[in-house]
A and B are shown apart, each in its own frame.
Chain A
Amino acid sequence: MSKVTLIINDTEVKADKGATILEAARVAGIDIPTLCSHEKLTPYGACRLCTVEITKGQRSQLVASCVYLVEEGLIVNTESEPVTKGRKMLLELLWAHAPGVQALRRYGTKYGISAVRAGMDYGVIPGISSTRTKFDIEPTFCVLCGLCVRYCAEVKRRNAIGFIGRGTEREVVFLPEIASEECPLCGEECYPLCPTGALPLHHALIKAEYSS
């Protein structure tokens, strides 16, 4: 396997060709925040917390390190000002949906976030419905990281849980007919993946529904 040399936070790092910046950073002991990344799953690039600043020649860019492949001579900064500024905002956006959950608190401490931002819509109470917009979003802690969906599809290949809808109406749902057959055989392997605890709760409700 040929190697590639790149610079992460002023440190020279040698990585395998075909590795992502995130993988290369991990091997070098550099911690980049993630939410939707998992070693057993293909990179997803949805949470954008792992965004880093890369510089090639004169141009700088912000990219998701979990999907961007290493390149010879690439200069990477994982904590530059544009990166941390945006990361804080992403955490605040997530916090508004799942305030105080463990997975966010560890980053919250690092980036100084501990409450819902004043002015933001606090997701746990029912959203304000307006005559113009047609939202009436059910309050939930789910942050749509997709770990459960992808684990069930890629690792367990049971496909009992999936996404529906799009945009702000995207949701994670169990398909009752499939879940009732497949989940008992699986042993709830997806539960520990959930960063907010919304999954086990939701599954309990579904089980109640299809066993009745």
Chain B
Amino acid sequence: MVQALTELDKKVDEIVSKYRGDKSALIQVLIEIQRENRWLPKEALKQVSQRLGVTLTQIYHIATFYKAFSLKPRGKHSATVCLGTACQVRGAPRLLDNITQTLKINPGETSADMQFSLDTARCLGCCAIGPVMVVDGEYYSKPSRKEVEQIVSAKEIES
């Protein structure tokens, strides 16, 4: 556990140095930590606070204001369903129900075995081919219930 912390410390250090300790790069720094680590642990935030000279209250506001960040550990795989207007009128709520029922977790939650996290997005910009679901960066257009189940099992086997 201590070892993992040091690795994260080093990673954070690297990222902060890349942005030359510039306060205004705070959001970019957090984006990179989020990407590397899949979530923002408290220790990382404290380190960023010290290195950039930004108060912890400000960092927490930013980490909770912007939806790209997670303050809780996330699953190995991530699934996001677009709830943009175009997807909404073309059946996004059904798709959301399908993935929710398949994964047995609600949007915003992570499965107990830490395999999957499920989210909704306000619009992914794939409006002509909706409804859309993204799993680990791969986009799926109009997946049926069966296809959703297949995608999930394929990911489970992958793990």
Are A and B in direct contact (Cβ within 8 Å)?
A: yes
Looking at chain A's contact residues, the main secondary structure is mixed
Residue of B nearest to A132 (CB): B93
Contacting pair B56 A164 (CB below 8 A): no
Contact segment of A4-12, A26-34, A60-68, A154-162: A154-162
B51-66 contacts to A (CB < 8 Å): 55-58, 60-61, 64-65
Contacting pair A159 B55 (CB below 8 A): yes
Q: Once bound together, how far apart are the Cα atoms of A161 and B60, in whole Å?
A: 10
Looking at chain B's contact residues, the main secondary structure is helix
Q: How far is the CB of B87 from chain A (nearest CB, A)?
A: 15
Contacting pair A153 B61 (CB below 8 A): no
Which A residues lie within 8 Å of B108 (CB)?
134
Residue of B nearest to A131 (CB): B93
Say whether A119 faces chain B, with CB atoms less than 8 Å apart: no
Interface size class of B (residues with CB under 8 A): 10 to 19
What 1/0 mask marks residues of chain A from 142 to 170 whose CB sits below 8 Å from any chain B CB? 00000001000100000111111110000
Say whether A178 faces chain B, with CB atoms less than 8 Å apart: yes
Contacting pair A165 B57 (CB below 8 A): no
- Counted as pairs of residues, one from A and one from B, with CB atoms less than 8 Å apart, the total is 33
Contacting pair A178 B56 (CB below 8 A): yes
Residue from the list B60, B64, B65 in contact with A175, Cβ < 8 A:
B60
Q: How far is the CB of A42 from chain B (nearest CB, A)?
A: 15
Contacting pair A163 B55 (CB below 8 A): no
Q: Once bound together, how far apart are the Cα atoms of A195 and B140, in whole Å?
A: 50
Contacting pair A153 B57 (CB below 8 A): yes
Q: Once bound together, how far apart are the Cα atoms of A199 and B155, in whole Å?
A: 47
What 1/0 mask marks residues of chain B from 82 to 116 whose CB sits below 8 Å from any chain A CB? 00000000000000000000000001100000000
What 1/0 mask marks residues of chain A from 165 to 204 whose CB sits below 8 Å from any chain B CB? 1100000010101100000000000000000000000000
Residue of B nearest to A171 (CB): B64
Which A residues lie within 8 Å of B57 (CB)?
149, 153, 159-163, 175, 178
Which B residues lie within 8 Å of A153 (CB)?
55, 57
Which B residues lie within 8 Å of A134 (CB)?
107-108
B106-138 contacts to A (CB < 8 Å): 107-108
Q: Once bound together, how far apart are the Cα atoms of A25 and B55, in whole Å?
A: 35
Which A residues lie within 8 Å of B60 (CB)?
162, 164, 173, 175
Q: Once bound together, how far apart are the Cα atoms of A159 and B60, in whole Å?
A: 11
Q: Once bound together, how far apart are the Cα atoms of A162 and B64, in whole Å?
A: 11
Q: Which residues of A contact B (CB under 8 A)?
A: 134, 149, 153, 159-166, 173, 175, 177-178
Q: Which residues of B contact A (CB under 8 A)?
A: 55-58, 60-61, 64-65, 107-108
5 more CB-based (< 8 A) A-B contacts, given A134-B108, A164-B61: A149-B57, A159-B55, A159-B58, A164-B64, A166-B65
